[in-house]
Amino acid sequence: MGVGGNNAETMTTGKDTKPDIVVAALVVIGEEILSGRTRDENIAYIGAYLSRAGIALREVRVIADEEEEIVAAVNQLRHRYTYVFTTGGIGPTHDDVTTDAIAKAFEVGVGLDDDAVNALRRHFDDKELTQARLRMARIPDGAELIDNAISRAPGYRIGNVIVMAGVPHIMQVMLDAVLPKLDKGQPMLTRSVRIDAPEGDVAAPLAALQTACPKVQIGSYPFFEQKRLGTYVVLRSTDEQSLDDAYEGLWRIIVENGFEAAKAETG
């Protein structure tokens, strides 16, 4: 699509400048998502959050809470992307197996971390700090803790893998805590237009525009409202001038074809 591509190394335009692209993958660990019991809220949140920050989410995997599945996914992805984020499976119950899997993926040990135990002590008294809850202070050797301002049980970062809770509001504070420490590329700039014509009518001129604007990723998304088909067109680029040119080209198409259209919320 002109931009993107999966590069484990970040690409730089020169010394002392931001890398053009920092790419990431997300592993959503949770049987409840696969069974359809819970509708995932984290993918869209993390995708938009990272995109604004200058990190492009290029792949998501949803897998069950099974150690060997987690090891395989993390080991495949961590060599391919700048960062791998995981959500889920770091709670106190028997089906929380993420930490053991991460330690196995990195071939390191796992044990009670003093700082993590102390964080839990600020939230739980001695009676409450059961063996089960202490499981949440088991951290792979060499990992760096990520603060959890809500329920104290920390996430952590090991190598380029960032391990977070699955509960959305806890995941979100962990993301806020870790973001300042991550490499960021140029933020993705976007423009969106809503066209009240079906994709089939928009397709040919849009394909020509994509050919003319290789630095801009042009996405076309059909919608169906009040029994009529329409198309959202989304332009995405890290280069503002290229984006401006494509946006102008898009409005030329709209005027020439007599489409009804309006600027839409970007995203």
Within 68-87, the residues that bind its own copies by CB under 8 A are 69
- CA within 13 Å, CB half, 36: 0
Q: Which of residues 5-34 bind its own copies (CB under 8 A)?
A: 6, 28, 31-34
Please state, in angstroms and rounded to a whole number, the distance separating the CA atoms of residues 237 and 188: 6
Helix (H) or strand (E) holding 202: helix 199-212
Restricted to residues 82-121, the positions that interact with its own copies (CB under 8 A) are 91-96
Tell me which DSSP letter residue 179 carries: G
Q: Within 114-153, which residues bind its own copies (CB under 8 A)?
A: 124, 128, 130-133, 135, 151
Distance of alpha carbon 174 from alpha carbon 236, whole angstroms: 27
Strand ranges inside the chain, DSSP E: 11-12, 19-29, 55-63, 83-87, 110-112, 138-140, 144-146, 155-158, 161-164, 189-195, 217-225, 228-237, 261-264
Identify which of residues 31 and 144 has a Cβ nearer to its own copies in the complex: 31
Among 58, 78, 152, 157, binds its own copies (CB under 8 A): 58
Question: Measured from the CB atom, is 201 or 244 closer to its own copies?
Answer: 201
> From the CB of 181, what's the least distance to its own copies, in Å?
21
In the stretch 204-223, what mask flags binding to its own copies with x, by CB under 8 A?
x-xx--x------xxxxxx-
**Under the criterion CB under 8 A, does residue 245 sit at the interface with its own copies?**
no
Stretch that binds its own copies, among 44-52, 111-119, 155-163, 175-183 (CB under 8 A): 44-52
Site stretch for its own copies (CB under 8 A), options 35-43, 141-149, 177-185, 245-253: 35-43
Do 80 and 24 meet the contact criterion of CB atoms below 8 Å apart? Answer: no
The helix/strand/coil state of 251 is: helix
251 binds its own copies (CB under 8 A): no
